[in-house]
Structure 1
Amino acid sequence: MVSFNNIIGHEEIIRHLQNAMKTGKVSHSYIFTGRPGSGKKLLATTYAMTLQCEAGGTEPCQKCDSCKKALGKNHPDIIMVNHEKPGTISIDEIREQVIHDVAIKPYSSPHKVYIIPDAEMMTVQAQNALLKTIEEPPEYAVIMLLTSNADALLPTIQSRCVRLDLKVVDDSLVKKYLMERLHVPDYQAEIDASFAQGSIGRAKEAATSEEFSRMTEKALKILKYVNTMEVYELSDEIKALSDEKQNISDYLDIFQFWFRDVLMFKATQEVDNLVFKQEINYIKEQASQRSYENLEKILEALEKTKVRLRANVNFELALELLFLTIRER
């Protein structure tokens, strides 16, 4: 059910939007900005649906004609702007889907709502063309720009929009959501929530992806036995990871959670705050074998590896250097 009540976190933004509807102070243009998977689209579509709802409340009623059309994604006055080329939104697409269209009055609603996902992909020409509509919008127009990089938008656009920054959602809320809504078991929800780093979208993806559980399994196998592996076995693992270059940053995240757990257990001897609670025996063992200095060094090496890979350093070499650090005592 599409409803503000079903959105996890972002209470301040929801309050702001509901207040705007209550007081009749709906802005003509908004920027929703936050990391990928933070819930920008869900907030924008829920807001659009509520604005058009015939009941006129601060939640969509789900029952009226307008809500049914919005749920069926065929509402004539809620326009989701799309683009053909990956990575760019052209001036023609903005002209056709927004500028020319906005001159036509709404079919059956109080507003005409335009949602532009990946707004940072608009070319400068497209942004300049849109600026005129944002500066002099028709009474009924509401334009929502969704972006994970608001700085890519022209300062003139930024200054004329209400900016809503989506904060990361607390891990405990993400975990609760996964367990209650998606029925993910406790220990798995812990891993998925840590991996998601405050993004419900990313948590959902991890929880429902067979690929992610396969990766977690593979990463844990390496982490648990890295110190007892023969050199040739380690080379095989590095080769296997090289075949999955596209997933390497996810693997490095999992490695980071593991060594943070080892460090945390070494410092506190407590299990409660660990991500990989179910591997406590291995974590205990590594915590007793490794020094604080060694663990700090490994966590630094993981950060360095991420930087090296972003800078396109030789992939296998970067991983070899990382594993050398991990195997040091």
Structure 2
Amino acid sequence: MGNFSDIYGYETIKEHLQSAISMGKVSHAYVISGGLGSGKKLIASTFAQTLQCEAGGVEPCGVCHSCVQAAGRNQPDIIWVGHEKPGSIGVDDIRDQLVSDMQIKPYSSPYKIYIIDEADKLTVAAQNAMLKTIEEPPAYGIVILLANNPDVFLQTILSRCVVLDLKPLKDDIVIKYLKDHYDNISDYECKFAARFAAGRIGRAMTMVESTEFAELRRDVMDVIKNAKDMDSTDIMTSVKRVTNYKLTIDDYLDLMLMWYRDVLMFKSTNDTNLLIFNDQMTLIKSQAQTMSYEGLQDIINSIDRVKVRLQANVNFDLVIELLIMAIKENS
């Protein structure tokens, strides 16, 4: 676990948190919002570690007993609230791990800090159970909610929290992070990862480090290259392969979206400098020549519709089959 100075970007948010610490004006409730891989947990854990640090500064010292415990995720007064059901955080989780527990004074620290990851999974009942605690916390109580989408929170919750929104970082910040932390990474890999990550360093790291991502990219490219010649059997074989990526389907679809935007960009501008997939110029030029503007836009719209439909829990295989058919028809 690092210091605030080790966190790339988000200067205003870091300054706000450090100023609150130095002036003794720490809020009892925060919402830290941002997409997957944006750094919510890193900022929350650094903030919590700094608040509990025995040195009392605006950066964690990293060597005191509390900092060592926090780095190992076993600081008794920094509680990461868990949940049994993968899809929701229920009222019992909140009552047992937060509401009741906060009545017990800190073991050895100035605060008891409760961090709820994936807090947008809080049920309405769980939010209501937490409301009184946020309204009238003990002086030592702090609740930090981490969420991809803070709009799901009750207005009564949001109105009592300091909301910190981690907006996407600029590509050059993501690229700098990758160059600083990975040896022998090429300029192309940095640029590609930064564009794919859409301003989220954690997502860029996953792409660089994951062997599974390389396999995902190969399967995406297989559909892109061969969809126009696929028969019904080939399509169903591809659908079955895509089911391997149910948990990372957003990555699969985003990669596909990047490709067709590249083809559309080249068709419109003929400028290779604007492309992300500049290692695939032959195929991009070929598809730009043979595919119409309307066809490319139809594919892009189809990918966007798939994202919406999958959020609504429609039949996964059917949605992917229709997408591949749309790509085939417009290739």
TM norm. shorter chain > 0.5: yes
Aligned pairs for 1:171-190 (under 5 A) are 171-183=171-183, 184-190=185-191
Q: Which residue of 1 aligns with 2:19?
A: 19
Q: Which residue of 2 aligns with 1:322?
A: 326
CA shift in 2, pair 1:181/1:326, >3 Å: farther
Q: Which residue of 2 aligns with 1:46?
A: 46
Task: Pick the aligned partner of 2:240 from 242, 245, 253.
Answer: 242
Pick which of 21-30 and 195-204 moved more.
195-204
Q: Which residue of 1 aligns with 2:286?
A: 285
Q: Which residue of 2 aligns with 1:268?
A: 269
Secondary structure, in 3 states, of the residue corresponding to 1:175?
Answer: helix
Secondary structure, in 3 states, of the residue corresponding to 1:14?
Answer: helix
Render the CA deviation track for 1:41-89: whole Å, top value 9, x for unaligned. Answer: 1111100001111222211111222211111211121111112222232
1:320 to partner: Cα distance:
4.5
Q: Matched residues in 1 for 2:309 and 2:133: separation?
A: 43
CA shift in 2, pair 1:307/1:102, >3 Å: closer
1:299 to partner: Cα distance:
2.3
Q: Which residue of 1 aligns with 2:156?
A: 156
1:14 to partner: Cα distance:
1.0
Q: Which residue of 1 aligns with 2:4?
A: 4
Secondary structure, in 3 states, of the residue corresponding to 2:30?
Answer: strand
Render the CA deviation track for 1:101-136: whole Å, top value 9, x for unaligned. Answer: 222222222222111112233333332232222111
The amino acid across from 1:17 in the alignment is L
1:291 to partner: Cα distance:
4.1
Q: Which residue of 2 aligns with 1:101?
A: 101
Aligned pairs for 1:128-147 (under 5 A) are 128-147=128-147
- Contact 2:227–2:324 (CA<8 Å) still a contact in 1? no
Pick which of 56-65 and 301-310 moved more.
301-310
Aligned pairs for 1:166-205 (under 5 A) are 166-183=166-183, 184-205=185-206
Q: Matched residues in 2 for 1:113 and 1:122: separation?
A: 18
Q: Matched residues in 1 for 2:92 and 2:254: separation?
A: 40
CA shift in 2, pair 1:307/1:133, >3 Å: closer
Counting aligned pairs with the same residue, the percent is 47
Q: Matched residues in 2 for 1:149 and 1:240: separation?
A: 32
Pick which of 52-61 and 148-157 moved more.
148-157
Pick which of 283-292 and 302-311 moved more.
302-311
CA shift in 2, pair 1:123/1:251, >3 Å: closer
Q: Matched residues in 2 for 1:276 and 1:101: separation?
A: 51
1:141 to partner: Cα distance:
1.5
Q: Matched residues in 2 for 1:8 and 1:182: separation?
A: 15
1:203 to partner: Cα distance:
2.1
- Contact 1:238–1:319 (CA<8 Å) still a contact in 2? no
Please provide the CA RMSD for this pair.
2.4
Q: Matched residues in 2 for 1:104 and 1:226: separation?
A: 61
The amino acid across from 1:263 in the alignment is L
- Contact 1:242–1:315 (CA<8 Å) still a contact in 2? no
Aligned residues: 324
The amino acid across from 1:107 in the alignment is Y
CA shift in 2, pair 1:117/1:41, >3 Å: same
- Contact 1:241–1:248 (CA<8 Å) still a contact in 2? no
Q: Which residue of 1 aligns with 2:259?
A: 258
Secondary structure, in 3 states, of the residue corresponding to 1:167?
Answer: coil
Structure 1, unaligned stretches of length 5 or more? none
1:308 to partner: Cα distance:
5.2
Question: What is the TM-score normalised by the length of structure 2?
Answer: 0.87
- Contact 2:302–2:323 (CA<8 Å) still a contact in 1? no
Secondary structure, in 3 states, of the residue corresponding to 1:142?
Answer: strand
CA shift in 2, pair 1:320/1:79, >3 Å: closer
Secondary structure, in 3 states, of the residue corresponding to 1:145?
Answer: strand
The amino acid across from 1:324 in the alignment is K
1:4 to partner: Cα distance:
1.3
Question: What is the TM-score normalised by the length of structure 1?
Answer: 0.88
Q: Matched residues in 1 for 2:136 and 2:320: separation?
A: 55
